[in-house]
Structure formats: C-alpha cells, structure tokens
Amino acid sequence: MEQKDILEKLTQKHPGAIKGSMDRFGVLEIQVERAKIAEAVKTLRDDVELDFDMLIDLVSIDYSTFAGWTGDRFAVAYILKSLAKGHRIQLKVPVPEGEPAVPSISSLYANADWLEREAFDQMGVRFSGHPNLKRILNHHEFVGHALRKDYPITRRQWLSANESLMDEMEVRLKAKGWE
C-alpha cells in the first residue's frame, strides 16, 4: 500500500487526530495527537488493508537541547510494520513537560509493555493504562530519568537492596492458573 494511501485512510478514520506528516528517508512519519494515539494504532493494526501487525520499536525523545525547537519537550515515536503487506510507518506523539501521560498500547502489542517501561524509566514519560509501569533498566531506588538531556550522564546512584521480582511472577502464575 502506498504511503499516502495509508495516511489518507488513517485521516479518514480519525479526522482530529492527525496533526501533520512528513517523509523521513522514505518512511512516512505521522504526527498524532496524544489523546488519540491508542485508537489510531488500533485502526492501523486491525484494518485489513493497513494490517500493521508488528510494533518494531517505541522510543522517547527529549528535544530540550534541539536547536530552534519550539514544540513540546518530549515525543514518543512508534515504528510499525506490516509483515504481510511489507509497508512500515512511523508515528510521533508530542508530549509536553509536566504530567505527560500517553495512552498505553500494551493491550494492542505485547512488546509495548516493556518498551513503554523503558520510555518511562529513561525519559519519564508516563503511559496511562499500563499494567505495570515501573522501572525496567535502572534500579528501583534510582531518582530521576537518566536519558534526559539535563541528567548528567555520570551521576551514579547506589542501590542498597534488590527488589523482589515476585510481583510480576505472581501475576503470571495467576494468569496460568497457579494460585
């Protein structure tokens, strides 16, 4: 399916959500409003012609040191690809500073769970509706968000004691029927 057809179809289904689009090295990037991202991704996944069944990556971006930037401080970028059709697309959601919360797509793609946890851990972007939004790479006593531009990269923080991973394990055991 052609890139512009994808954009057209998405704009038809979600008229207010699309804020703009641009071409990034042959891949179409669509700017989507923060509140509507989950619906837009659901359409992209479920529509028979669009058929984006793979979430390739979910990254968070900090624009605070970007020269000449006037928009929101953060952005979350989603890269989706269709296995059967072969096309790929990038979605970008601007996220303002303050209490930014992006609707989570972890119910749509299984890998979004950890990808969103990483975006939260490193950049501080919150995802509403996420089953277990806690740090994934840094330890639980870490204060701050490490990949923000204003976090000094060499500020180290000691951990006094590991936290148990039983919270995630218990959920999984319950899901499999082990009480």
Partner 1 sequence: MGMTGEGFPAITTRKDAVIAWGRKNSLWPMPFGTACCAIEFMGVVSSVFDISRFGAELVRFSPRQSDLLLVAGTVTFKQAPILKQIYEQMCEPKWVISMGVCASAGGFYNNYCTVQGIDQIIPVDVYISGCPPRPEAILEAVMKLQHKIDNPGQVPAAQFKAKEPTFDY
Residue numbers at the binding site for partner 1 (CB under 8 A): 137-139, 142, 146, 151, 153-162
Q: Which is nearer to partner 1, 63 or 142 (CB)?
A: 142
**CA nearest neighbour of 132 among 165, 174, 155, 161:** 165
Q: How far is the CB of 6 from partner 1 (least distance, A)?
A: 38
Question: How distant, in Å, are the alpha carbons of 39, 82, 87, 139, 177 from that of 52?
Answer: 13, 4, 8, 34, 32
Q: How far is the CB of 163 from partner 1 (least distance, A)?
A: 10
Provide the token pair at 20. 């703009």
Q: Which is nearer to partner 1, 114 or 142 (CB)?
A: 142
Q: Which is nearer to partner 1, 107 or 138 (CB)?
A: 138
Q: How far is the CB of 143 from partner 1 (least distance, A)?
A: 11
* CA dist., res. 57 & res. 109, Å (int): 11
For 53, list phi and psi in degrees, rounded to 5.
-100, 0
Q: Which is nearer to partner 1, 158 or 178 (CB)?
A: 158
* CA dist., res. 10 & res. 117, Å (int): 27
Q: How far is the CB of 25 from partner 1 (least distance, A)?
A: 29
